[in-house]
Structure 1
Amino acid sequence: MCAKKSTDTHLEFLESSEGLANELDKAQNFFQSNNKLFLIIGGVLLAGLLGFVGYRYYQDGREADAQKALYKAVYDFESDSLSLALKGKGGNEGLLSIADNYSGTDAGNLASFYAGVALLKDGKFDDAIQRLKSFGSSDLLLQGRAYALIGDAYMEKNNAKEAIDYYKRASDYKANAFFTPSYLLKLGLAYEKNSQPKDAASTYKRIIDDFPMSSEVMNAKKYLGVVEGQVGE
């Protein structure tokens, strides 16, 4: 018994040359009647592609220029020529200019970090906070360090409450045995300054319990003894 031929298939036109020709005519008529629409769509896609390529070329050029400018500024920074590093001189741009003129580039972002550190060292705490807050990175070291430095700036401004917030961010950011204990120690001291001895005590205990091999443990134990006396533990 022959198998019954399915009547639900949409490919029956392939079995007939006339059916195939008919389908091709339909397709041709469809494209002809919508020719303008397809041209517009194609133009938009092409413009988008060219725009993306052009933007990447432009950004790559800005990145290269920013990296070149940053090299000299960082050299001045590491030489403790803070004013020269921040403002530049002659044909050399400073960190502030690089951060502003090359925003959106990796080098411009890094310039914001260096500028924040330099401003903090120079005692310009509000400016330092602004620059460090504009910096963002997924790097293990730099982002946590930026948070801690913002905390330092707030402590210099006698604003322990804000300092606590940023020290907590620093200590919670990708916690590790190398940097987290120092951030926690700063956090504990900020809690003490803000009259929060219980929170300070729990922070010092975290250093002792979670990072027993860190160099901060000795100070954590010493400070813990003081605050435990304050809370009666």
Structure 2
Amino acid sequence: MSKKNTDASGLEIIETPEALAGQINKAEVFFLNNRKVVLGIGGAILLAVAAFGGYRLYIDSQEDAAQIALSGVVYDFEADSLQKALNGSGGNEGLLSIADGYKGTDASNLAHFYAGVALLKQAKFDDAINHLESFSSSDLLVAARAKSLIGDAYLEKNQPAEAISFYQKAADYDKNEYFTPVYLMKLALAQEKANQAKDALSTYKRVIDEFPLSSEVVNAKKYMGLLEGQVGK
């Protein structure tokens, strides 16, 4: 009988050549008996690898074209030529075309953000929300900005409960002295509109207590005082 040893991990180690040959023989028998299954699995893996490689090559080529298209349209966006930025001009693609036509690319993702901002400025709130929700970013400051803009769109639609949800998300992203107080002030406004006076008071107090050097503190104190007068606190 072959001797077996056990390594530190608890796995059995075959010591003799005869035992090793026996294991190889078992493997050969298994392969012969299950050849179609084994080859089928192997072929599927190779196809999956090839498909992924082809997809990456396609996305890389799309990325180059999308970045070129986006670099041109950003000038229209920054010049506040929103219609041109969204729909394109002079043969150039617009943000809407880039966002939908180059899916999976970084340029498409960024086009969703720009399109959301432009549509929000045009008071096309539902379309703005759709594009901003399609945007994602590993940069927490930009991600928070997108959530805040979605909150703005819902507030404009007179849906303060939805706005509260997104302002809260924006305020919770990567808290900092510059943007968090702004998001908290928007949150408090939405809470007031939703008749959540106590929550709004708590939010104004957060601005005052947690961000005492922020320029938002003056307004936070003012609105907090007005709200306290209304609720009789």
TM-score, length-scaled by structure 2: 0.85
Runs (5+) with no aligned partner, structure 2? 6-12
Instruction: Count matched residues.
Output: 226
The Cα RMSD (Å) is 2.5
Partner of 1:170: 170
Give per-residue Cα distances to partners, 1:132-156, cap 9 Å, x unaligned. 1222223222211111111112222
Q: CA deviation at 1:223?
A: 1.0
- In the alignment, does 2:180 pair up with 1:180? yes
After TM superposition, list the pairs within 5 Å mapping 1:40-189 onto structure 2.
40-189=40-189
Q: Is the 8 A contact 2:141 2:173 kept in 1?
A: no
CA distance in 2, matches of 1:146, 1:115: 12
One-letter amino acid matched to 1:128:
A
1-structure distance, mates of 2:20, 2:167 = 72
Asked if the contact 2:96–2:112 (Cα under 8 Å) also holds between the matched residues in 1, the reply is yes
Q: Are the counterparts in 2 of residues 198 and 227 from structure 1 also a CA contact under 8 Å? A: no
Quote the Cα distance in structure 1 between the aligned partners of 2:212 and 2:102: 43
Contact 1:13–1:23 (8 Å) recurs in 2: no
Identity across the alignment (%): 61
Match of 1:214 in 2: 214
Q: Once structures 1 and 2 are overlaid, which stretch shifts more, 133-142 or 69-78?
A: 133-142
Measure the CA separation in 1 of the matches of 2:38 and 2:159: 62
- The superposition leaves residues 152-199 of structure 1 with CA deviations (integer Å, 9 ceiling, x where unpaired) of 122222222222222112112222222111000111112222222211
Measure, in 1, the Cα distance between the counterparts of 2:174 and 2:94. Answer: 31
- Counterpart amino acid of residue 130 in structure 1: N
Q: Which moved more, 1:182-191 or 1:101-110?
A: 101-110
Decide which structure has the larger Cα Rg and report it.
1
State the TM-score, normalizing by the size of structure 1. Answer: 0.85
C-alpha distance in 2 between matches for 1:35 and 1:6: 29
